[in-house]
Amino acid sequence: MTFFTNNPFTRILSFWLIGLLIGNYFPPFKLGLWALLFVSALFCLLKLKTKTYPFDLYLSSLLAISLVTFSSYTVPPPKITAPDQHQHILATLLEFPTEKPNSYQAKLKIHRADSAAYHNETILAYFEKTDSVNQLQPGDQLVAKCRLQAIRNQGTPYGFDYQKFMANRQIYYSTYISARNYIRIQKGNSKSLLLQAEHLRSTMINLLRSYIKNKESLQVISALTLGYRKELSPETRSYFASTGAMHVLAVSGLHVGMIYLFLSSLLGFLKRSRFGRLFYVLAIGLLLWFYALLTGFSPSVQRATVMFSFILIGSSLQRPAAIYNSIAASAFILLLFNPNLLFEVGFQLSYAAVTSIVFFFPRLESLAKPRHKLTKKLWQLFCVSLAAQLGTFALSIYYFNQFPVYFWLSNFLVIPAAYLILGGTFLFFIFSPISYLAEILASLVSTITFATTFLLRQIEQLPFSLIENISLSSPQLLLLLTMGGCLLFFIKLKRKAFFFTSVILLGGFFLAGFFQKLQTFNQQKFIVYADNNDIHLINGRTNYLIQTSNETPNQQNLQPVINALNLEPPILIHLDSCKQYQSDDLIIDEALIVFIDQTFHYHKRNVNQSNKMFKQRTKQGMLPNNTSPIWDTKIDSVLVKEETLNLANLKVRQALVADLKPSNR
């Protein structure tokens, strides 16, 4: 095909991705790949002398299978972490400690430890909250005594896989270090570029902090321009996410693209000569990589910088048609060095958005030709937003279970604002030695940021601004993405086969949705949450949360379960106050819970210490006389047919999730 001929890296990347998927999800198939490789090589040898048809086909197959086989072996095997144990370590601090509610967090690079298993490991350290932590700087060498623990998930069923998230960043251990258990033996004097960039970024953030007094504006500006998101409040993250503007806070393709366009316009005159074109490429490339270094070399910045570096090289060679080749080449290079990137949400969303913008934007833009310059810019902005959303729609719903309805409206606001904030902040840094100019620029940037955040809050308050609890299964996602790819090739290549394939895949998508709903309506599960021993009883979409304490339900535990199993809002039942309850599938009395055909025994017992405190507080007038005594409810056991699970002695780090067994009656 002409497309693959003009963009050879798209073909290479396709086979490389197949290998990574096999290596990650189907490791036993790797032996089969060797068999295919042997057969393919044999056919090539048999046709090598004559090179008659179909020699080219055999040779192409050999190269493709070789790529797939080699790629499958680049996926690192799961790391077997060492058991939790106390260690004496010599380590280098890699970043400035970030304040958390009860500690300071920072990454450490271990050079030496009692056990060689920890040598050269990067760990996540939590320092005791003392004033001395603020004196630590990147590059400082520390000697510490601490208990190294393997990073584990918090036990939330169907929740965020934090362990895998950190493993993708090659971080497998964490530790808490008290003030008396560490000492700095050498101040930071490392010549590492990353550490020097960390110092420079900290200096720039402190400079912003000295001029911008609004806390939220400072957080947004630091995140948007320098990639420093550690101090962003959950509230700010929430309304940026619910309005579809979260991508602005993550330094990525948008920011690097803005800088690329600005530098291209500024230095465009250099392209008039041959040597000028070379200087143009080198200057912009170096500045882009300096910005990536300044923002901490996060994965999103790496992706964007590599991508635009290839686009820069492609455009300098006057090959605008090679844009897809540049995108594929950048993805291939990144995956070659770090295969785990493929399984990161940010990597998938970044490349889906860029590819979709490149493909759909010119087609959407051609649908209307506004005459007025401002109207034209607004139309282009809308087309970019819509094109990006088309590419990321399925992935966003699959990972986040929500869809921001007014994404197009928020992007009308945040993209121009981001450009002004980005440009204004860098002008502020340039003119910071001139105090009155720096103050004017800081005030201007702060005002724009404040207005932007205010308007985003208003958009969040609009009716139906966010569609939540949307469920999409893995098979549905795969079918939807494959169907989208076929439609792209149909539009690009005008081949009917791609169209018919997409129609078949659409039918498969609806069929998978039907089976998912069937499974949802027939599911019968119980979940025991590890943090409080609450029991979640599930029958179809109907579900009951049996609470063994008076604490408010933990939404961080509940919401992933509701999203994953497509449940209705749970019916809350407090055992302490519930004497009797009856529905079609649940019966509760004072000593027994019967759910469908499963029996849960429990009892209420008076806690002497609690009653003593209760009587004392009542005598002191701290509680009204008609207040009920405090009862401690305990679930003794869960009976699943003839299997008994003693919850009173159950100590689980992760929640217990089990299907109810079908009745034997």
d(CA 458, CA 239): 10
Q: What is the pTM of this model?
A: 0.80
- DSSP H stretches of helix in 140-246: 162-167, 193-211, 215-226, 234-242
Is the confidence at residue 219, as pLDDT, over 70?
A: yes
Strands (E), 491-541: 524-528, 535-539
Residue 25, pLDDT score = 87
Q: Can you name the residues that pair with 123 across neighbouring β-strands?
A: 108, 173
* 249 neighbors 235 (Cβ within 8 angstroms): no
387 near 364, Cβ under 8 Å?
yes
pLDDT at 362 over 50: yes
Tallying the residues shown for the chain, one arrives at 665
Q: To 10 degrees, what angle do helices 299-316 and 253-267 make?
A: 30
Model confidence over 605-645: pLDDT tens digits?
Answer: 443 444 444 344 444 443 344 333 333 334 444 444 444 44
Most confidently predicted of 152-161, 260-269, 537-546? 537-546
Q: What is the three-class DSSP state of 156?
A: coil
Per-residue confidence (pLDDT) for residue 648, from 0 to 100 = 47
Q: What is the mean pLDDT of residues 42-49?
A: 81
DSSP string, 301-313: HHHHHHHHHHHHH
Give me the percent of the chain exceeding a pLDDT of 70: 87
- Least reliable range by pLDDT among 284-293, 308-317, 457-466, 578-587: 308-317
Instruction: Return d(Cα 540, Cα 535) in angstroms, integer.
Output: 16
Tell me which residue of 135, 86, 87 sits closest to 111, measured CA to CA.
Answer: 87
Higher pLDDT, 266 or 39: 39
How far is residue 280's CA from residue 275's CA, in Å, rounded to a whole number? 9
Q: Give the mean pLDDT of 109-137.
A: 92
- Which residues are 112's β-sheet partners? 90
Residue found by looking up tokens 């490339």 in the block: 285
**Average pLDDT of span 415-437:** 89
Per-range mean pLDDT, top range of 121-125, 263-267, 308-312, 519-523: 121-125
- The pLDDT assigned to 21 comes to 92
Q: Residue range 354-365: average pLDDT?
A: 88
Checking if the pLDDT of 657 tops 60, the result is yes
Pairing status of strand 571-574 against strand 542-547: parallel
Question: What pLDDT score was predicted for residue 446?
Answer: 94
- Comparing 264-273, 333-342, 394-403, the range with the smallest average pLDDT is 264-273
Report DSSP state, residue 297.
-
Taking only the tens place, the pLDDT of each residue in 562-584 is: 888 889 989 988 877 777 788 88
Residue 295 pLDDT greater than 90, yes or no: no
Distance CA 582, CA 580 (A): 7
Higher pLDDT, 42 or 604: 42
Arithmetic mean of pLDDT, 76-85: 85
pLDDT-wise least confident of 200-204, 259-263, 493-497, 639-643:
639-643
pLDDT score for 647? 47
Quick check: 403 pLDDT over 80? Answer: yes
pLDDT at 634: 41
> Mean pLDDT throughout 537-564?
83
DSSP label at residue 53 = T
Residue type, 76: P
Binned at pLDDT 50, 70 and 90, residue 190 comes out as: low
Q: Which of helix, strand or coil describes residue 99?
A: strand
Residue 455 DSSP class: H
Flag whether pLDDT at 401 surpasses 50: yes
In this prediction, residue 653 has a pLDDT band, given cuts at 50, 70 and 90, of low
252 within 8 A of 308, measured Cβ to Cβ: no
pLDDT at 269: 79
When the pLDDT of each residue in the chain is averaged and rounded to a whole number, the result is 82
More confident residue, 121 or 654: 121
Comparison of pLDDT for 599 and 455, the residue scoring more: 455
| Six token digits for residue 131 | 């004033």
Whether the per-residue pLDDT at 168 is higher than 80: the answer is yes
* For residues 542-552, average pLDDT: 81
Select the more confidently predicted residue: 531 or 440.
440
The tokens describing 110, both together, are: 């271990």
